[in-house]
Amino acid sequence: MKPTLIVLSGPPASGKSALARRLAARHGYVHLEMDAVRLRLLPGSNSTRENRVLAYRAMHQSAELLLDRGVTVVADASYGHAEDRTDARRAAGAAGAGFALVEVTLPLDLALGRCRARRSRHPGDDLTDERVTELVTTFPYTGEGLTLDGALPMPERVDLVERYLGIKLRTKPAKP
């Protein structure tokens, strides 16, 4: 598989980060998580749109540099704004790399339960029950890539993404 920017998109608690970590570990990809990038750039920052835009830019610039060096990148964030998805595609294109979009869905009750369970340790400071309800019920899915049910067991999610991407498990992860 040529270097590819794999974008995992969806509302909070859909399992994007867990899936990204699993794919990165199995295949030697680099995982870029928007919340981690935001907090590294802006320690103690809130999840405002302005702060998230800055983090998206940094994440996409990093992805472009890695892709240009032949490294596949898994980026996970909500990607609920069209301009964020467009910028990710631009970064992949600038590096001559592939682009794959995986949109993760989940039922509202599961999203609320997951958000409540992780509230004290998650950097999403704006994820109240009301905000999660809004984000899950109005998420702008595009249908452009793979739509994946975030309620499925993790092994099934990984298998579906690997089949979508047409990849086989390597015996040894590649070194970036």
Tens of each residue's pLDDT in the chain, 176 residues: 799 999 999 998 899 999 999 999 999 999 999 989 998 999 988 888 999 999 999 999 999 999 999 999 999 999 999 999 999 999 999 999 999 999 999 999 998 888 888 766 655 556 788 888 898 899 999 999 999 999 999 999 999 999 999 975 444 444 54
* CATH code for position 53: 3.40.50.300
Task: Give residue 115's domain range.
Answer: 4-165
What percent of the chain is helix, strand and coil (3-state, nearest 5)? 50, 15, 35
Asked whether residue 56 is assigned to any structural domain, the reply reads yes
Asked whether residue 173 is assigned to any structural domain, the reply reads no
Asked whether residue 170 is assigned to any structural domain, the reply reads no
Query: pTM value?
Result: 0.89
Asked whether residue 175 is assigned to any structural domain, the reply reads no
Residue 146 backbone phi and psi in degrees, to 5: -85, 130
Asked whether residue 171 is assigned to any structural domain, the reply reads no
Domain count, the chain: 1
For residue range 118-132, list pLDDT tens digits in order. 766 655 556 788 888
